[in-house]
Structure 1
Amino acid sequence: MMPLKKQSVLMHVLAVIFIHTVMAEDNQYFFQLTHNADYSLDSDKLLESFYQPIKFSKVGFSTFLKEEFNRPEYATDFIPHNLDIHVEQFLRWCNQSKQGIMHAHASFRLFTNKVKAAPYMTITPVIGITQRLPDLVQEYFVDVPVSVFAKLKKLIKRILFTAFNAHFDYFKAEPNKFLDTLANDIVEEIKSSELVQDQIDKEQLRSTLVRFLDTSIAKIVWSPLDQTDIWESFKELSHHLATLKNHEIITEDDLDDLLTTLTQRFVYFLELTGSDLSPDTLLTIETDLFSDNLTINQLPEQEEYITPKREHILKAIKTTQAKIMARSQGIITEIIPID
Structure 2
Amino acid sequence: MKKLTIVAASILLCAAPARVFADVGVLIDSSAREHFLGSDSVSDSPLIFDKAFPGGGLMKEARHSETVVRYVKNMFNTVESSELELDASSFLDFTKMGSEVSLDMESAYTCLRLFYNKMKGCEALQDSVTHNILEALPEFLARYFEPEQSMTYSLEFLRKDLERRMVDHFTNHKDQLSAEPTYFFAKAAREISTAAHDQFRNPESPLLNHTEWCERLRQVSVRLVELCLGKTVWCEQSFESIIPSFTRVGYLAQQLAVRGILTQYDDLDDIYWSLCQRFKSYLKVVGHMYPVSFFENAEDAVVSGEVFFLEGEQDDGIKGKAELIFDALRETKLKAMARDKQDELNGQAQPGPTVDLSDTPSLFADERHDTHGGFSSDGQRIPPEEDDIEVAENVVEEEQAPKIIEPLLAEKSVALAKEG
Report the 3-state secondary structure (helix = DSSP H, G, I; strand = E; otherwise coil) of the residue aligned with 1:306.
Answer: coil
Q: 1:239 to 1:110 in 2, by over 3 A?
A: same
Matched, 1:132 2:143: no
Q: CA deviation at 1:287?
A: 0.6
Matched, 1:285 2:298: yes
Matched, 1:304 2:316: yes
In the other structure, the counterpart of 1:262 is 275
In the other structure, the counterpart of 1:43 is none
- The one-letter amino acid of 1:80's match is E
Aligned mates of 1:147, 1:264 — CA distance in 2: 41
Matched, 1:227 2:231: no
In the other structure, the counterpart of 1:245 is 257
Aligned 8 A contact 1:88 1:136 in 2: no
Q: Any residues of structure 2 matched to 1:61-72 within 5 Å, and which?
A: 61-66=72-77, 68-69=78-79
Aligned mates of 2:76, 2:91 — CA distance in 1: 13
Relative to the length of structure 1, the TM-score reads: 0.68
In the other structure, the counterpart of 2:409 is none
Q: Any residues of structure 2 matched to 1:180-195 within 5 Å, and which?
A: 186-190=196-200, 191=202, 192-195=204-207
Aligned-pair identity (%): 23
Q: Any residues of structure 2 matched to 1:30-109 within 5 Å, and which?
A: 54=7, 56-57=9-10, 61-66=72-77, 68-69=78-79, 74-75=80-81, 77-83=82-88, 85-109=89-113
Aligned mates of 1:257, 1:235 — CA distance in 2: 16
In the other structure, the counterpart of 2:384 is none
Aligned mates of 2:3, 2:327 — CA distance in 1: 41
Q: 1:162 to 1:294 in 2, by over 3 A?
A: farther
Aligned 8 A contact 1:245 1:255 in 2: yes
Aligned mates of 1:160, 1:306 — CA distance in 2: 56
Q: CA deviation at 1:159?
A: 5.4
- The one-letter amino acid of 1:296's match is F
Report the 3-state secondary structure (helix = DSSP H, G, I; strand = E; otherwise coil) of the residue aligned with 2:275.
Answer: helix
Q: 1:150 to 1:63 in 2, by over 3 A?
A: closer
Q: CA deviation at 1:306?
A: 1.7
Q: Which is worse superposed, 247-256 or 148-157? A: 148-157
In the other structure, the counterpart of 2:339 is 327
Aligned mates of 1:278, 1:324 — CA distance in 2: 7
Q: 1:161 to 1:304 in 2, by over 3 A?
A: farther
Aligned mates of 2:6, 2:240 — CA distance in 1: 34
Aligned mates of 2:4, 2:128 — CA distance in 1: 16
Q: CA deviation at 1:117?
A: 0.9
Q: CA deviation at 1:118?
A: 1.1
CA offset digits 1:39-83 (Å, max 9, x no partner): xxxxxxxxxx999963542767523244x23xxxx11x2111222
Q: CA deviation at 1:275?
A: 0.8
Q: 1:182 to 1:136 in 2, by over 3 A?
A: closer
Q: 1:147 to 1:204 in 2, by over 3 A?
A: closer
Report the 3-state secondary structure (helix = DSSP H, G, I; strand = E; otherwise coil) of the residue aligned with 1:144.
Answer: helix
In the other structure, the counterpart of 1:203 is 215
Report the 3-state secondary structure (helix = DSSP H, G, I; strand = E; otherwise coil) of the residue aligned with 1:54.
Answer: helix
Aligned mates of 1:136, 1:228 — CA distance in 2: 31
Q: 1:147 to 1:185 in 2, by over 3 A?
A: closer
Aligned 8 A contact 1:94 1:103 in 2: no
Q: CA deviation at 1:157?
A: 7.1
- The one-letter amino acid of 1:189's match is Q
- The one-letter amino acid of 1:238's match is G
Aligned mates of 2:254, 2:142 — CA distance in 1: 14
- The one-letter amino acid of 2:236's match is P
Aligned mates of 1:163, 1:320 — CA distance in 2: 76
Q: Which is worse superposed, 272-281 or 92-101? A: 92-101
Q: Comparing both chains, which one has the higher relative contact order based on Cα–Cα distances under 8 Å and sequence gaps of 6 or more?
A: 1
Aligned 8 A contact 1:127 1:240 in 2: yes
CA offset digits 1:7-49 (Å, max 9, x no partner): xxxxxxxxxxxxxxxxxxxxxxxxxxxxxxxxxxxxxxxxxx9
Give the structure with the higher percent helix: 1
Aligned mates of 1:208, 1:301 — CA distance in 2: 25
CA offset digits 1:243-271 (Å, max 9, x no partner): 22112112322211111111000000111
- The one-letter amino acid of 2:84's match is I
Q: Which is worse superposed, 133-142 or 253-262? A: 133-142
Q: CA deviation at 1:310?
A: 1.1
In the other structure, the counterpart of 2:361 is none
Aligned mates of 1:307, 1:163 — CA distance in 2: 62
Aligned mates of 2:94, 2:4 — CA distance in 1: 14
Q: 1:264 to 1:56 in 2, by over 3 A?
A: farther
Unaligned runs of 5+ in 2: 14-69, 174-182, 184-189, 344-420
In the other structure, the counterpart of 1:144 is 148
Point out the structure with max Rg over C-alpha: 2
Runs of 4+ with deviation above 6 angstroms: 49-52, 160-166, 181-184
Aligned mates of 1:254, 1:214 — CA distance in 2: 10
Give the paired residue count. 265
Aligned mates of 1:307, 1:210 — CA distance in 2: 24
Aligned 8 A contact 2:283 2:328 in 1: yes
